[in-house]
């Protein structure tokens, strides 16, 4: 949610920041703005809408500057409009700020500032924060850097901020708590951003700011301090991200590109970890925890959205293969009750970004209660990766489309490997079963390539359902979570109401919705629930529902029962979810495109939910 880009150095700041904001559009936003500091003063330009509208606003303006801060806002406090957009001035217009996150005690601070004579133009908590910093600076007689430190010591909530001061044109101040912030280190220049995508064109040397840390660039030097004013040496890392990976590469949308990248992203996920020829599997991040995991009495997955669906798949896998009791929790619910977590429990967070606010808070709670906490995430150096005892990166590469595709299959791939490795360690798999599963996992990239060849066929089916107003997705066992994921993909990007259900639950309510206008998608592969799913299909057809079925190659029985059948390669039931989800991604994508939706940036959604 929201995006920060800031620059201080020798380049022209405005075009660099605008380009960076476009790279962060995938995070979700409703307005954009930029503040530039030059010898003519400190100026702010901001507009409701897309970055392109801000870019138009800047035409014919004097925007030459070597220092600037830019922001894309996803509205929290105050509706999307020009006034509430960031950056925000302080009352004197000497300070300007951009801010991701939420200041929870802003109302009390605002009341105090109003009593001191401050007035506010916007409805945002961010304008309150910059005026609070200015008030501290005025009454303490201190520097802006010190005022930021003192103010942040009193605020409650989450933030990633960048602050510039008209009176100190060679300085940039940034800080974070709960919202990500990365600093790119160049030659006599520094870049600040919510993630590395706006930075990699210029440098691969980065510093990931930790919670409660303040970064100050002054006179070309970078210093990192904590809120107690203790200086820390910047820990510079090399980011492994290529510019081509964040460009469309000839595809119409990032989402379609990322669907097609899945054979490679899953292969990358397994590379060096799984070798079917030598019957070997090893996850480096779990080397010191695999014994403990194999003897765990309980595993709790915490996640949100698509990652929660991956956790549901993981539940089936760990319980079936490793015979360990598993619970899957919405992180947002887990953190607000008093969960029973005991020493010896494993709490595993699943998050594409590694920055999901609710998931991070759930981990903090579990860690406090004595659980071993692990992470499954995609972004190296993310907050979850730094907080957990250990974990496994998915190596899916950057996912720009808001609707997750390759991140989901990479998460399921990691959870599959974790479950197989744990079962092997525990002795709940025979050698034959173990080798068979490794062989099946190794075959997944090739089988997904086969499914992608059905794209035109799936597009033709999508044409017939472009104007549907409702969908139901049904599956059983391991493929019930895939039904949930298929429904989520469709509603996210096409805005069609869609529900996912266990197929057997249809008779307990959803069957009332079935008529000739109701499309029903069944996952009807030949697994342990095959016969039961065929009975569910008959129940829908008896009520004139229109059925799309995902079936195995050559399954004429189901094909003859349904309106449309999409055939996928045969596979072991335990890895089938990595195949059955692909046609549902393509179906949702094509329906959304035909409805004229903004597939990569669906309305109201953000890629990384870094606020509650």
Please answer whether residues 350 and 363 qualify as being in contact, where contact means their C-beta atoms are separated by less than 8 angstroms. Answer: no
* 116's tokens: 């001191």
List 48, 137, 257, 607, catalytic entry: 607
Q: What backbone phi and psi angles, to 5 degrees, belong to 157?
A: 135, -160
The helix/strand/coil state of 523 is strand
Backbone φ and ψ of 327, nearest 5°: -125, 145
CA 303 to chain centre: 11
How many C-beta atoms lie closer than 10 Å to residue 494's C-beta? 28
Told to judge if 2 belongs to the known catalytic residues of this protein, a careful annotator would answer yes
Query: How are beta strands 95-103 and 157-165 bridged, if at all?
Result: antiparallel
Report helix, strand or coil for 252. Answer: coil
Task: Give bridge partners of residue 566 from the DSSP assignment.
Answer: 550
| Cβ–Cβ < 8 Å for 49, 81 | no
The Cα 607–Cα 102 span in angstroms is 17
Residue 377 known to be catalytic: no
Length of the chain: 612
Find out whether 24 and 197 touch, Cβ atoms under 8 Å: yes
Strand partners, 260: none
Q: Could you give the C-alpha distances from 314 to 188, 277, 413, 451, in angstroms and in order? A: 47, 25, 10, 23
Annotated catalytic residue, options 2, 269, 304, 581: 2
SS3 425: helix
Rounded CA separation 32/52 (Å)? 9
Alpha carbons 526 and 7: distance in angstroms, whole number = 56
- Token pair recorded at residue 233: 């040496």
Task: Supply the DSSP symbol for 28.
Answer: -
Residues 6 or more apart from 527 whose CB is under 8 A from it? 476, 477, 478, 479, 573, 576
Q: Give the other-Cβ count within 10 Å of 433's Cβ.
A: 16
| End-to-end CA, the chain | 11
What's the gap between Cα 546 and its chain centre?
33
Distance (Å, whole) CA 475 – CA 294: 29
Q: Which of 481, 490, 454, 479 minimizes the C-alpha distance to 584? A: 490
Bridge partners of 3?
A: 72
- Kindly compute the dihedral angle of the four CA atoms of residues 277, 283, 289, 290, in this order, to the nearest 10 degrees: -20
- Closest of 382, 397, 322 to residue 349, by C-alpha: 382
3-state secondary structure of 294: helix
Preceding peptide of 87 cis, ω within 30°: yes
**What is the pairing mode between strands 67-73 and 31-38?**
antiparallel
CA distances to 503, 536, 538 from 532, rounded to whole Å, are: 9, 6, 10
Q: Which ranges of 96-205 would DSSP assign to H, the alpha helix? A: 106-115, 125-140, 144-152
| Residues 300, 341 contacting (CB under 8 angstroms) | yes
Q: Which residue has the tokens 């010591």?
A: 153
Q: What is the set of active-site residues? A: 2, 607
């Amino acid at each position: 949610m929201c995006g920060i880009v800031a620059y201080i150095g020798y380049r022209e700041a405005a075009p660099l920041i605008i380009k960076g904001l476009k790279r962060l559009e995938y995070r979700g936003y409703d307005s954009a703005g930029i503040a530039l500091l030059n010898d003519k003063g400190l100026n702010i330009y901001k507009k409701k809408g897309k970055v392109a509208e801000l870019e138009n606003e800047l035409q014919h303006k004097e925007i030459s500057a070597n220092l600037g801060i830019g922001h894309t806002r996803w509205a929290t406090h105050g509706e999307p409009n020009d006034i509430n957009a960031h950056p925000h001035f302080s009352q004197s217009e000497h300070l300007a700020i951009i801010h991701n996150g939420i200041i929870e005690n802003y109302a009390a601070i605002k009341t105090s500032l109003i009593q001191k004579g401050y007035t506010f133009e916007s409805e945002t908590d961010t304008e309150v924060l910059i005026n609070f910093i200015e008030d501290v600076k005025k009454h303490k007689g201190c520097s802006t850097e010190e005022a930021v430190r003192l103010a942040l010591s009193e605020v409650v909530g989450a933030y990633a901020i960048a602050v510039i001061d008209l009176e100190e044109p060679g300085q940039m101040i940034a800080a974070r708590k709960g919202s990500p912030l990365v600093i790119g280190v160049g030659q006599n220049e520094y870049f600040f951003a919510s993630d590395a995508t706006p930075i990699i064109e210029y440098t691969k040397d980065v510093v990931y700011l930790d919670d409660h840390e303040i970064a100050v660039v002054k006179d070309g030097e970078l210093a990192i301090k904590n809120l107690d004013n203790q200086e820390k040496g910047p820990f510079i890392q090399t980011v492994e991200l290529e510019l081509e990976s964040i460009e469309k590469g000839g595809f119409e949308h990032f989402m379609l590109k990322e669907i097609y990248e899945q054979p490679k992203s899953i292969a990358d996920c397994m590379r060096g970890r799984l070798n079917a020829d030598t019957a070997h599997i090893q996850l480096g991040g779990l080397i010191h925890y695999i014994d403990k995991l194999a003897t765990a009495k309980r595993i709790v997955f915490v996640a949100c959205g698509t990652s929660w669906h991956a956790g549901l798949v993981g539940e089936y896998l760990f319980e079936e293969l490793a015979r360990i009791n598993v619970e899957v929790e919405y992180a947002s619910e887990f953190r607000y009750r008093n969960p029973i977590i005991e020493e010896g429990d494993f709490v595993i967070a699943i998050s594409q970004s590694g920055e999901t606010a609710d998931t991070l808070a759930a981990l903090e709670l579990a860690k406090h209660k004595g659980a071993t906490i692990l992470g499954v995430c995609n972004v190296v150096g993310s907050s979850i990766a730094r907080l957990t005892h250990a974990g496994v990166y998915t190596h899916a590469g950057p996912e720009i489309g808001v609707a997750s595709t390759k991140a989901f299959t990479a998460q399921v791939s990691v959870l599959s490997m974790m479950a197989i490795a744990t079962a092997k360690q525990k002795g709940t798999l025979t050698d034959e079963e173990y080798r068979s599963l490794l062989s099946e996992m190794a075959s997944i990239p090739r089988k997904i390539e086969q499914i992608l060849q059905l794209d035109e066929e799936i597009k033709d089916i999508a044409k017939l359902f472009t104007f549907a107003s409702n969908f139901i997705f049904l599956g059983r066992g391991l493929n019930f979570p895939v039904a949930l994921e298929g429904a989520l993909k469709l509603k996210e990007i096409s805005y069609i109401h869609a529900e996912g259900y266990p197929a057997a639950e249809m008779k307990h309510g959803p069957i009332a919705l079935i008529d000739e206008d109701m499309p029903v998608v069944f996952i009807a592969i030949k697994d342990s629930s095959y016969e039961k799913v065929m009975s569910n299909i008959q129940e829908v057809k008896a009520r004139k529902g229109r059925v799309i079925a995902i079936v195995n190659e050559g399954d004429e029985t189901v094909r003859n029962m349904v309106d449309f059948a999409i055939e996928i390669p045969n596979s072991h039931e335990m890895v089938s979810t990595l195949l059955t989800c692909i046609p549902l991604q393509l179906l949702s994508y094509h329906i959304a495109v035909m409805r004229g939706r903004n597939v990569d940036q669906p309305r109201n959604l953000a890629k990384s939910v870094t606020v509650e």
